[in-house]
Structure 1
Amino acid sequence: MRPSTENSSSIKNAIDQTFSYRRKWIMTKSPTVREIFKEYPRFLDMPSLMDIEFSKLTDGKEDMFIRKWEGTIIPKLKEIALLEKKMDIRQLLEKADSQDDDELCYTMLKVLIHLLPPMPSGRSAAGSKCCVNSAVSYLLEFVPAGTSVISLLTESMKGSLKSGQPQLVSIGSLGHGAQYVIVAKNDSFALPLDVDNLTCAVDRLFKFYWLCNLQYPCQLSSVFSFF
């Protein structure tokens, strides 16, 4: 069925009925991202289905990140970060006081990565610090406004993306009508998101990992586990 007002309830019912089969297929056969959405294309053009799937996987927690990030988690992050003596964190907090929603979200994601840094994996302390400073690029990359979604899958553009795992790409600057896209460069897959802010884009990316049963990127494993 193609999504429409008339077909919406039937499609949701079909997705519900196929849940157990789909999860078994994904868990045991490990299909690629492209294969999953080829088999179940309605997840692409009915984004609410991803929320429903995540709700069934997490006992109804589909809106918890959206509800808690700005009102509860960010204030707590600020309190904890104020106790830190690291100059990098203090500079981020100084910026946060005058930022709009998307810029504040991005700043606090950076603060969270500093507080929950990637495991050094045998690197030196200096290497670990470098990893912390660059880890956010495994979550969100920026490309100029006007960049087409299809061009994100060209070899030259994929080469500029840090992660082989799915990540967010912002077409345009934060707070200036940016379009958010999930790009899985290893599968040559791009999913434009129907969201208008970074918080919702991060929420969608996290659910994308769960729906596809993907391993978190090691650079963000602590942060994704926190989510």
Structure 2
Amino acid sequence: MDFWKKYWARRPKILNEYWRDNSAKDNSAKNDSSVSDGPVPKKLKTVMNLKEVLTNSSEGLDLLKHLESGSVLNTKQRKTLVKIAVGHLIDLHGLWPTAKQKTLLAKEIVQTWPVTKDTTPGIGGHIDWMKFSPPHRSNMAMHTQYFQDTHKYRRQLVMDCNYPVSITDMVTTFPRYQDIPHLIGIDFALLHEDAADKLLSKWSTLREKIILQGHQESESIKEVVKRYVDTNRDLFALLTVLYTLHRPVPKSKGVNCSRSAAVHYLVQHVPEGTSIKEAINHIKQTYRQPLIVAIGKETGQQQYFLCLDRKHVCIAMSEQ
């Protein structure tokens, strides 16, 4: 019984490797020299009939509708397709399908629904490489390049209203958000190319104008954000904007959301040496809105993380 539980839990993994490797022509030729890049043999097509297989379950029907519309699969949908296809392959050929059978199945999936083919790096090797390659100095350039290459794929996932992805889904698929600070900046620059260049080139001047304007409008802001005056001008400007634009919630609603409370809520300081996971675990469950976790001494060098849905994303902030 334990064997079957473990087997069925691992079943989707049987095809994943073959699907990824055989979506590109070169890899297909390496896996099996007898399998050409031409059409899948008619015999296999007749036996598999993947479209009919998907109609046998509600999740399969939803998946089929999505594929027929030409939409890109997200991670959850991809796993569902693999699970259903591999399950049918096992039903037909037994517990241990041959390498050729799995290769042909992967080929049929791609030929039946071209949208599943790895025509963009975001659906195959680049995502896997980034996911399982911890960043270090020697491979940082590769991480940056692959992240740029997969930008359009991430946008497709985010903009797909029929299958919305959560912060957890995105961070799970792209875990490098959690340990490479400049990735959010890359996404922003690719999404708003002209605006990003102007913002970066003029940020220092704009930042100081924000701070000056905020202090002219409200003297009380100086006391609230004074600890950031000489330590982090970026954070100082951000909190100035928050304080200036914030409108307090009436106390009758039972929520303490004054301007000062909002400023202290947005940035949560934790002692130096605390891991980000420990910091998030200690954040109150009532803190449901995004916030910034700052690790380190308030008057010294700090690491900054954006916390959303109790998941962290590493962010870069200047210390001057």
| TM-score scaled by length of structure 2 | 0.46
Q: Residue 33 in 1 paired to residue 162 in 2?
A: no
2-structure distance, mates of 1:50, 1:176: 24
1-structure distance, mates of 2:145, 2:239: 40
Secondary structure in 1 matching 2:300:
coil
Larger Rg: 2
Query: After the TM superposition, which residues 119-134 of structure 1 pair with which residues of structure 2 at under 5 Å, given as runs?
Result: 120=249, 123=250, 130-134=257-261
Partner of 1:81: 215
Partner of 1:189: 311
Q: Is the 8 A contact 2:269 2:295 kept in 1?
A: yes
Out of 287, 290, 300, the residue aligned to residue 163 of structure 1 is 287
Between Structure 1 and Structure 2, how many residues are aligned?
186
Secondary structure in 2 matching 1:61:
helix
What do residues 102-158 of structure 1 show as CA deviations (whole Å, max 9, x unaligned)? 2x55444443233211374xx36999995222111342111223322221232xx12
Look up the equivalent residue of 1:24 and give its one-letter code: Q
Q: Is the 8 A contact 1:145 1:173 kept in 2?
A: yes
Partner of 2:268: 141
Look up the equivalent residue of 1:117 and give its one-letter code: H
1-structure distance, mates of 2:173, 2:223: 47
Q: Residue 54 in 1 paired to residue 162 in 2?
A: no
Structure 1: give runs of 5+ residues left out of the alignment.
200-227
Change (3 A) 1:169 1:17: closer
Change (3 A) 1:78 1:128: farther
Q: Residue 115 in 1 paired to residue 234 in 2?
A: no
Task: State, as a whole percentage, how many aligned pairs show the same letter.
Answer: 23
Structure 2: give runs of 5+ residues left out of the alignment.
1-128
Shift of 1:32: 2.2
Shift of 1:176: 1.6
Kindly report the root-mean-square deviation, in angstroms, between the aligned alpha carbons of the 2 structures: 3.9
Higher RCO by CA contacts (8 Å cutoff, separation 6 or greater): 1
Q: Is the 8 A contact 1:52 1:62 kept in 2?
A: no
Change (3 A) 1:177 1:125: same
Q: Residue 100 in 1 paired to residue 234 in 2?
A: no
| TM-score scaled by length of structure 1 | 0.60
